[in-house]
Amino acid sequence: MKNKFKLLILLALPSLASCGGFSLDYIVEGNKYNSPVFTENYYEHWDNELKNAQEVASIDVTDKKITSFADVGIIDQNILLKTDYTLRDYSSEYNLMRSDQSFYYGVQSKLFDGEAYCDGYYQKHRVQTNQNGFSVRFSKESDELTYFAMQFKATTNNQLKYYLPSDDEYDVRNDHALFHNSVIELTIGLYTKNESEIENHSFKSEITFDNNHTNDGSYYVFYAFDLKEYELSRLVGVSVTFDIISDELVDYNKTKGVDIDYALFVYEIFLPYTYWH
């Protein structure tokens, strides 16, 4: 009996020592995703299960989507219950961290912290993504979804040389000169659990907006679409991908043989009125 007890103790610690890893998903090496170098900040994490999930629906919400380009007044009365809300009020009330503690962990927590704007310190509150996109796997499941909302802006890498379409000038690095028109097809993947299988519901929409580097609030895009009619529940993950349909600066430089990095800065993802368990 005594020997068995000793054996149990001897086995217990190595077993426990090898079971670690819960918080390892939330750590990053050095200054990753927080670099002053544009191209070092791409968040390209894809959860394997989400990546291999079967697409069960591909829905075009271009006509149903709501977009707002200013942090003033209401965004849309259909979505926001309080009509005198600014986006700052909205994000501080409906951020996902307020709904569950599980959203506090990892790099992806920047998407749920209620900070919907750049604070001027590199990547502090945003996730930078390219056309490869990224996914976020939740540790809990939601009940029925009401609507999806996201705050983002688009930008190009101004650390490299490029041509300016207006005067055909090369090597322009003046932020203000970068103001131009951009059209993308944004795909939001919502991953739900059906028994043990994970299913992907893709919501696509074409969005036209101003692409600019300044921090003026009017160049942030608040994008949302209603989900009530789809009766989705047991959400376990979300992905964001996009394709560039047209971009004045990117397209013009392509004709000159110059590739410009184009990124979305995703500041916040909202799934209001959902409970997590």
Partner 1 sequence: MRLNKLHKYSAAITFLAMEIFAVLAFSFSGNFIVYGAISLALAILLILFNIAEMKIDGISSIAFFFLPLFLFSTITALSVYSRSHAYVGDFSTVELVFIPIAFIAMSFTGYLLSVDKSFKMSTLLIVIYSALGVLCLINLIVNFVNFGAFYTVLYKGYHMYYGGVMSETTVDKMAYVLEGLKFIEVRMPRYVLFPALLFTSSIALLFVSPKENKRTFIIYSIFVLVSLLSLIFVPSLLGLFSVVLILLIDAIIFIYQRFEKIRKAIRIVILTGLILAGLLFLFIILNNQSAIPFVHNLTSGNSFLNRLFNTNGIINKYNPLVENIFSKEKFLGYIVDNMINQNEVHMSGSFLFDFFMTSGVIGVIAFIFALVVGFKGFKNYFSKENDNLYIKVTLLTFVIFYLAYIGTFNDTEYAIYYKLYQPVYMSAPFLIMIFIFSYILAKGNVAKSEGGKEDEK
Going by C-beta distance under 8 Å and a sequence separation of 6 or more, which residues neighbour residue 163? 169, 170, 172, 252, 253, 256, 258
Q: Which CB sits closer to partner 1, 13 or 81?
A: 13
Q: Which CB sits closer to partner 1, 8 or 17?
A: 17
Task: For Cα atoms 18, 137, 227, give the angle at the middle one, nearest 5 degrees.
Answer: 160
Q: How far is the CB of 16 from partner 1 (least distance, A)?
A: 5
Backbone angles phi, psi at 275, to 5 degrees: -110, 150
Q: Which CB sits closer to partner 1, 18 or 255?
A: 18
- Closest CA relative to residue 186, chosen from 168, 202, 200, 206: 206
Q: Which CB sits closer to partner 1, 38 or 105?
A: 105
Q: How far is the CB of 94 from partner 1 (least distance, A)?
A: 15
Q: How far is the CB of 242 from partner 1 (least distance, A)?
A: 22
List of residues contacting partner 1 (CB under 8 A): 13, 16-24, 26-31, 33-34, 97, 104-113, 115, 124-125
Q: How far is the CB of 174 from partner 1 (least distance, A)?
A: 31
